[in-house]
Amino acid sequence: MLEIKRFSKSYGNNTKKAVDNLNLTINRGEIFGFVGHNGAGKTTTIKAIVGINEIDEGDILIDNISIKDNAIECKRKMSYIPDNPDIYTSLTGIGYLNFIADIYDVSVKVREELIDNYAKIFKIHNYLGDLISTYSRGMKQKLVIIGALIHQPKILVLDEPFVGLDPMSTHNLKNIMKDLCKEGTSIFFSSHVLEVVEKLCDRVGIIKKGELIACGEMKELKGDKDLESIFLELNE
Amino acid sequence: MKMLWLLLKTNIINSLKINKILKTSKMKLVMYSLVVIGLSVSFFTSIFLSAIDVVVLFYQYNLINLMLVVFFVMASFITFFFTIYNAKGSLFNANDNNMLLSMPIKSSVILASRLISLIIFNLLTILIFMVPVIIAYITKVNVNFNDYLFIFTIFILLPIIPTILASLFGYLVAYIASKSNNKSMIELLMSFLFIIVFVYISNSSNQILTYVIKNLNSLENIIKWSFYPIYLVYKAFMEYDYLSLVLYIVINVSLFLIFITILSKSFKRIIAKLHESKTKSNYQMKHLKASSIKKTLLIKEIKRYFSSPIYLLNTSFGVLMLIVFALSSIFFAKEQLLEFLDLSANSITSFQIVLLGVAFITFMSSTTSSSISLEGKNFWLLKTLPITPKQIISAKVWLNLLVVLPLTFLAIIIFKFTLLLTITEVLIIMLVAFLFTICAAQFGLLINLKFPKMDASSDTAVVKRSISSVISLCVPLVLIIILINIYTQLSNNINFNIFLLIIMVSVFIIIIIEKILLNTWGVKRIRKID
């Protein structure tokens, strides 16, 4: 479903690579946790997957389609939730969601149904008529999440998705992620909250200084220990 | 004092991006320095040469001592005008306000550091045109120690009062707007009103100067009662009056301290008030409408455009003035209009003047020169959506056309009746408007793609201070001046219609080149910017 092949990326004239020769495969219906310390290369990898950053070396395939060759087709299958919900403050909440639905060509019936459903789950349905500039950070985050879900993506890429969310919304998002997986959606997400990663993910990858230092099934990787201990051992 | 210095230093390093400049490669640094030096020298030279003419003119009227006073007043006016747009953002809307307010720093120190930074930047701005003027003055007039002392002291203090007044005005506009549900529209209306008054006063400057020269005897009294600090500058400079100079210094310093003392008391409240937002939270799910990608991207651009008063005002001002002028032309006869434009004695026709005005305005009204930068931190969204860079480019160019062309065409139609233009002339002017608008829109976008400013602290920083907006304002201006000069030189040898045809064909070729560049280099740039 999502295949990262020998992906490398460096910034500017820097000879040191931010991500070096990364190989990963995320299967259909799988939740993959991507962890690493600050500056390890998580966001660089995510930005390359979703088409924000260009790929220096290697390739990224979505459903066997190269993002380098056919970015638009790949993006149609994906959704991205960034760590900072910077969105158009001049639009209303509903205006933003309708904008996203228009871009992904979601039918009116489906968009109305999904927006209503998710807006009620995240308890922002009453605020959809207000300008986004009046929203709190958490509300913007919820709106970005709804925007990412309304076109029913095959792959969901999330960068620190729980930052700024209240406990109820965090709980709801986790449930949504599990439900999407059951329906066959692949989820790739980065987080510093290792307890969440441990409970939610089928597989996990640990990145350090741009290199994948561990990757595998959650149970196999951590054995009898918890993910935090493994992470600290590997990063010593 | 130590804290004030620390904040001031950090603010200046941050605003001028000094650390970034120092980390630029030597080659790039040398290249940029050469460009900046080249531009500065040519700018300085042109102002210096014009200033020499002004010096001669003041000599003729035996008013040479008054010359610098007049320029000081002009500099104050310019400072006031430019600060109105910056004050709110610089003083009360800075990104780091919350962080600084949470630290053990007095509000007065934070406010003082912001105000001093603003004054320094204003000083640097007026330095650009005042230094050549002062040099021109010094070269033509015997200057003694007293003159140097007075010039230097007045010049250093000059931006303080206009900066304070503009800050108060800027705050007042923002405060009134914050009371309304439609902040942008209120800010826009008030700014537009202010500009109309400003333009009116500027246009009346000839009459004011004539009045001043005729009533020189009562000049002292007029200045004294209209604006006392200027009277002190006048008195100090004209009569070497040390007392006036000292009084001028005292007034400036006192106003600065009063401003800081009073506003620092409500600094936190002002910031909170300006950030206050109301939600209705009563939305009921309605039937949604689907649109094509092209339409939805354009609607997004339009909403962004109308949400930013500074963006809207800066890019639509010319077109709005064109409409104002066209509408006011309804109330005048053709001869009166030509007289007003000071063209009745020239051989220039009303067709030519409308054509020139329309070309000038459409060429200078570029919304695209800021449109990539204004995406700022939201750019990730466009890059992750399944849309092509060409669709992004197209929406931004279309916005430019929508902002400029309908109103321009309307103005041309009004001029057709008030200035009695023929149908052919109207069609030619419309074609010129169309070509120049596309050319300016594509040029603005290319420049913005070359010099994007994605991390700007505010819309003002993008629209007013970014490299791309400055370039896309200067290049058309210089080009039009060059074209006018070429035509003036060749007017005896070339027919106007042929000259116009050559320009239109050239612009058409430039449009095609721009289009090719946007579809190749522009697409790559959009992929690269993050």
What are the tens digits of pLDDT across the range B140-171? 788 788 888 888 888 888 899 999 998 888 77
Contact A126 B281 (CB under 8 A): yes
Residues 388-447 of B with CB under 8 A from A: 388
Rounded to whole angstroms, the Cα distance separating B26 from B117 reads: 28
> Would an 8 Å CB–CB cutoff place A64 in contact with chain B?
no
> Would an 8 Å CB–CB cutoff place A229 in contact with chain B?
no
What is the DSSP code (8-state) at residue A166?
A: -
- pLDDT value, residue B233: 81
**Most B CBs within 10 Å: which of A102, A118, A136, as the mutation test of the B interface?**
A102
Work out the average pLDDT over B70-76: 83
> Would an 8 Å CB–CB cutoff place A52 in contact with chain B?
yes
Contact B288 A101 (CB under 8 A): yes
* Region for A39 from its dihedrals, namely left if φ exceeds 0, alpha if ψ lies in -120 to 50, beta otherwise: left
> Would an 8 Å CB–CB cutoff place A70 in contact with chain B?
no
Contact B383 A51 (CB under 8 A): yes
> Would an 8 Å CB–CB cutoff place B282 in contact with chain A?
yes
Nearest by CB: B530 against A47, A73, A103: A47
Work out the average pLDDT over B228-236: 80
According to the per-residue pLDDT averaged within each range, which of B13-22, B45-54, B240-249 is highest?
B240-249
> Would an 8 Å CB–CB cutoff place B300 in contact with chain A?
yes
Residue owning tokens 């760590």: A83
Work out the average pLDDT over A11-16: 76
- pLDDT value, residue B60: 79
Residues of chain A contacting residue B388, judged by C-beta atoms under 8 Å apart: 72
pTM of the model: 0.82
Nearest CA in chain B to A81: B381
Q: Among A66-80, A155-169, A207-221, B278-292, where is mean pLDDT lowest?
A: B278-292
Q: Which two tokens stand for residue B388?
A: 């092509």
Nearest CA to A36 out of A161, A215, A157, A202 is that of A215
Residues of chain B contacting residue A138, judged by C-beta atoms under 8 Å apart: none
Per-residue pLDDT tens over the stretch B277-305 = 777 778 888 899 999 999 999 999 999 99
Report residue B204's pLDDT band, with 50, 70 and 90 as the boundaries: low
Residues 1-60 of B with CB under 8 A from A: 25
For residues B248 and B157, the answer to whether their CB atoms sit within 8 Å is yes
- pLDDT value, residue B95: 73
The whole-angstrom distance between A117's CA and the closest CA on chain B is 11
What is the DSSP code (8-state) at residue B25?
A: -
Work out the average pLDDT over B242-269: 89
Statement: residue B49 has pLDDT above 90: no
Nearest CA in chain B to A111: B288
Half-sphere exposure of A146 (CA within 13 A, CB side): 31
Percentage with pLDDT > 70 across chain B: 90
The mean pLDDT of chain B is: 85
For residues B477 and B362, the answer to whether their CB atoms sit within 8 Å is no
Report residue B23's pLDDT band, with 50, 70 and 90 as the boundaries: confident
Residues of chain A contacting residue B287, judged by C-beta atoms under 8 Å apart: 108, 112
- pLDDT value, residue B27: 79
Nearest by CB: A104 against B283, B291, B386: B386
According to the per-residue pLDDT averaged within each range, which of B75-79, B208-212, B250-254 is highest?
B250-254
Work out the average pLDDT over B98-114: 87
Q: What is the CA radius of gyration of chain B?
A: 25
Nearest CA in chain B to A125: B283
Statement: residue B400 has pLDDT above 60: yes
- pLDDT value, residue B220: 64
> Would an 8 Å CB–CB cutoff place B181 in contact with chain A?
no
Contact B296 A76 (CB under 8 A): no
Contact B290 A99 (CB under 8 A): no
Residues of chain A contacting residue B289, judged by C-beta atoms under 8 Å apart: 98, 108
Statement: residue B127 has pLDDT above 70: yes
Go through A6-27 and write b for each residue having 16 or more CB atoms within 10 A of its CB, e for each that does not. ebbbbeeeeeebbbbebebebe
Contact A78 B380 (CB under 8 A): no
Half-sphere exposure of A73 (CA within 13 A, CB side): 11
Per-residue pLDDT tens over the stretch B449-497 = 999 999 887 788 888 878 899 888 888 888 888 888 888 888 778 888 9
Residue owning tokens 């058409």: B508
More reliable by pLDDT, A206 or B485: A206
Work out the average pLDDT over B395-410: 97
Statement: residue B58 has pLDDT above 60: yes
Nearest by CB: A102 against B280, B282, B290: B290
Residues 231-250 of B with CB under 8 A from A: none
Rounded to whole angstroms, the Cα distance separating A138 from B235 reads: 60
Report residue B225's pLDDT band, with 50, 70 and 90 as the boundaries: low
Residues 88-107 of B with CB under 8 A from A: none
DSSP string, B150-171: HHHHHHHHTTHHHHHHHHHHHH
The whole-angstrom distance between A99's CA and the closest CA on chain B is 6
Nearest by CB: B285 against A82, A105, A125: A125
Residues 114-143 of A with CB under 8 A from B: 115-116, 119, 125-131, 133-135
- pLDDT value, residue A46: 95
Rounded to whole angstroms, the Cα distance separating B195 from B370 reads: 21
How many distinct helices (H) and strands (E) make up chain A?
9, 10
Contact B288 A99 (CB under 8 A): no
Please state the φ and ψ torsions of residue A86, each to the nearest 5 degrees: -85, 105
SS3 B202: helix
**Most B CBs within 10 Å: which of A49, A60, A88, as the mutation test of the B interface?**
A88
Nearest CA in chain A to B280: A130
Residues of chain B contacting residue A94, judged by C-beta atoms under 8 Å apart: 283, 286, 288
Rounded to whole angstroms, the Cα distance separating B484 from B479 reads: 9
Work out the average pLDDT over B384-391: 95
Residue owning tokens 């109305």: A112
Contact B386 A53 (CB under 8 A): no
**Most A CBs within 10 Å: which of B276, B297, B380, B523, as the mutation test of the A interface?**
B380
Contact B288 A108 (CB under 8 A): yes
Contact B279 A80 (CB under 8 A): no
Question: Count of CB contacts below 8 A, A vs B?
Answer: 115
> Would an 8 Å CB–CB cutoff place A177 in contact with chain B?
no
> Would an 8 Å CB–CB cutoff place A99 in contact with chain B?
yes
Contact A52 B386 (CB under 8 A): no
The whole-angstrom distance between A39's CA and the closest CA on chain B is 17
End-to-end CA distance of chain B: 40
Q: Among B3-7, B186-190, B312-316, where is mean pLDDT lowest?
A: B186-190
Mode of pairing for the β-strands spanning A78-81 and A155-159:
parallel
Per-residue pLDDT tens over the stretch B417-437 = 988 899 999 999 999 999 999
Residue B495's alpha-carbon distances to A7, B168, B500, in angstroms, are 63, 54, 9
The whole-angstrom distance between A102's CA and the closest CA on chain B is 6
Residues of chain B contacting residue A95, judged by C-beta atoms under 8 Å apart: 303
